[in-house]
Amino acid sequence: MSGLINYISCGLLWLGLVVKAPDLIRHRRDPYLRAICAVLALAGLCFFLGAEPTVAAVNHLSGIPNLAAPLTYASITAYSAASQILIVYWRGGPHVHRTSRRWIAAYALVLLGIAVTFALGDAPVERRTDLDTYYATTPYIAEMIVLYLLGHLAAVSVTAWSALRWAREVRGRLRTGLLVLGAGTLCGAGYSLSKMAAVIARWCGRDWSGLGTTFSPAAAGLGAVLTVVGILIPLVGPRLAEWRQAQRDFVRLEPLERELDELLTRRALRLPRPRWASPTTRLVWRRTSIHNALGSLDAFLDRDLYERVLDGERRTAAAPGQAEATAWAVAITTAVREERDRDSPLVAPSTAEGLGEPPTAGALVAVADALAASPLVVTARLRPGTTTTGPA
């Protein structure tokens, strides 16, 4: 079961990496984007290498009983450093490149130390889940374990301190993301501390291996998930807000599209509806259909009627945008009826001058609202001759 959870976590993290990959390809020189992708990739790698089936496969294929251990330790160390480097680039400042290079150099030495101590040590008995406590007193292997635990603890402690201190200075999604990231790195510190406690207990002749096999993996998994979620909140938040706004606009435009539906169908002006599309794509589809209909209807849009309604609405103290929306709504409703009732739809009524450019994308929503709410629109639908006499 733990292997399955590890693989699911890895898949979700690498799915986030796949989503960010196009941005990385387009902006490959952006260090901030590279750091985000590195955190996602390394967090997923930690889960993948830490899964017991992976540990068994690496040890078996390599012929080295515990090779999976230094590989896992190296991925955890690299992930910890990447998280701190991301915070450095996230916050910015005059010395970000120099600070990040120092972190990279320091943790490159830690990675080198892990490799050297494992090569010098002797760990002939395969231990898939409790290597830390089993070899806690073995020369060089013990040093490797302590090195990676201290390196991990230092990175997550600095990251937590930086994130939580910065969270006090900002607001909104960034603050939420930093708080979640800080909580995640504190969980990561719990992983190192519990592992270290189990190792120290082994030095003292006690058996606390349960800390390393139960509590530590849970703390590591929760910490990695919270850290990545904290990183993604400020990035995904604006996109979600954009999608919510697009969905609201899509729904509000429905009365206007419904008003134009018969014309769109008869003249085959509506594009095929996109399937499994984002709210933004569906909004563009509806706007395009509406603009196609208004373009076809332009010769029937009566400028005199539009001006009369606009003046009347302004005299009733309607806001300028609302007055224009109502005028457009009445003109469109009347033009739809005029176009439908004429024997030859291609011949414009003699009194119509057209209105030129249709409403902007943002103004279309207000026009749709007016179509649904304005009594003048109801009058325009029911009263014959509105195009010549105008609304009462």
Domain boundaries, the chain: 1-233, 245-342+350-382
What is the model's pLDDT at position 50? 86
* Burial degree of 198 (CB within 10 A; 0-12, 13-18, 19+): buried
Low-confidence ranges of the chain (pLDDT < 70): 1-2, 317-318, 343-356, 381-392
What is the model's pLDDT at position 353? 54
* Burial degree of 380 (CB within 10 A; 0-12, 13-18, 19+): buried
What is the model's pLDDT at position 143? 93
Kind and range of the H or E element at 9?
Answer: helix 2-26
The domain 1-233 is placed in CATH, from the list 1.10.1740, 2.170.220, 3.30.450, 1.20.1070, at: 1.20.1070
What is the model's pLDDT at position 272? 85
* Upper half-sphere CA count for residue 73 (Cβ side, 13 Å): 32
What's the DSSP call for residue 214? Answer: I
CB of 255 closer than 8 Å to CB of 368: yes
What is the model's pLDDT at position 348? 46
What is the model's pLDDT at position 298? 83
* Token duo for residue 127: 């231990």
- Collapsing DSSP states into helix, strand and coil, what is residue 359? coil
CB of 143 closer than 8 Å to CB of 72: no
Q: What's the pLDDT tens digit per position in 148-178?
A: 999 889 988 888 888 888 888 888 888 898 8
- Collapsing DSSP states into helix, strand and coil, what is residue 195? helix
CB of 305 closer than 8 Å to CB of 387: yes
Q: How far is CA 281 from CA 122, 246, 247, 337, in A?
A: 59, 9, 10, 30
What is the model's pLDDT at position 389? 38
What's the DSSP call for residue 357? Answer: S
* Token duo for residue 392: 């009462």
Torsion sign over Cα 294, 299, 301, 304: positive
